[in-house]
Amino acid sequence: MPSRHLRPSSGWVEVICGSMFSGKTEELLRRLRRAVIARQNVQLFKPAVDTRYGVATVASHDGLKWEAAVVTDAAGLVAALVPETTVVAVDEVQFFDEAIVAVCNDLAHRGLRVIVAGLDTDFRGEPFGPMPFLVAQAEEVTKLHAICVRCGGEASRTQRLIDGRPAHYEDPVVMIGAAESYEARCRACHQVPRR
């Protein structure tokens, strides 16, 4: 864990990634609760596009909730940052523009602890938005796995379903949804047909 190895005045970036239903948001909220117990000033951000659990709420699939500042892009996050904040958290970071990478690095250089959570791959199984860059530059990366709904194995993929069938490769990358549109699957059970 970076906190053991870095001076207290040093900042760093932590990435929590994995498929849907792997517990990314739950882990993010766990870390935030611990930061609050340690009397650190926490600020949580979420992208405006994600309205699944309410406009200004970050929630895990298990029902854990935390109020969040809603922003449309990385510049909005910087504008909404409170000077007293020492821990910056971002949920669903894959939906942010590429500028989020520079923002996270800048905040870490300023001495802040930055925790981001998001899908590392899209429904096609390909790197999702800014995640590959965040993973490559972070001090700590935690990759979580779900349980494959088909075989019970360790799931690392997010299967998108449209009318109960796997989405086609050519379908749009971003489609907000939860259990009604997505399943966790392992590599062998993940399907992405082409038209």
Tell me how many helices (H) and strands (E) the chain has: 5, 13
Question: For the structural domain made of 2-145, what CATH number should be given?
Answer: 3.40.50.300
Predicted pLDDT of residue 187: 97
Instruction: Please write down the long-range contacts of 102-108, taking CB distance under 8 Å and 24 or more positions apart.
Output: 102/74, 103/74, 103/77, 103/78, 104/13, 104/134, 104/137, 105/13, 105/137, 107/11, 107/81, 108/11, 108/12, 108/13, 108/139
- Give the number of other CB atoms < 10 A from CB of residue 122: 20
DSSP state of 122: -
Q: Output the average pLDDT for the chain.
A: 90
Residue 160 has pLDDT above 60, yes or no: yes
Predicted pLDDT of residue 112: 97
* 3-class state of residue 132 by DSSP: helix
Are the beta carbons of 8 and 95 closer than 8 angstroms?
no
Residue 8 has pLDDT above 60, yes or no: no
pLDDT tens figures, 100-156: 999 999 999 999 999 999 999 999 999 999 999 999 999 999 999 999 999 999 999
Residues with active-site annotation: 92
How much is the pTM? Answer: 0.90
Which strands make up the sheet holding 140-144, listed edge to edge?
69-71, 42-47, 87-90, 113-119, 12-18, 140-144
pLDDT tens figures, 176-189: 766 678 999 999 99
- Which sequence spans correspond to the domains of the chain? 2-145
Residues 6+ apart with CB under 8 A from 89: 28, 31, 32, 42, 43, 44, 45, 114, 115, 116, 117
Q: What are the CA-CA distances from residue 46 to residues 6, 125, 157, 159 (Å)?
A: 27, 23, 22, 23
Are the beta carbons of 184 and 158 closer than 8 angstroms?
yes
pLDDT band at 9, cuts 50/70/90?
low
Predicted pLDDT of residue 53: 59
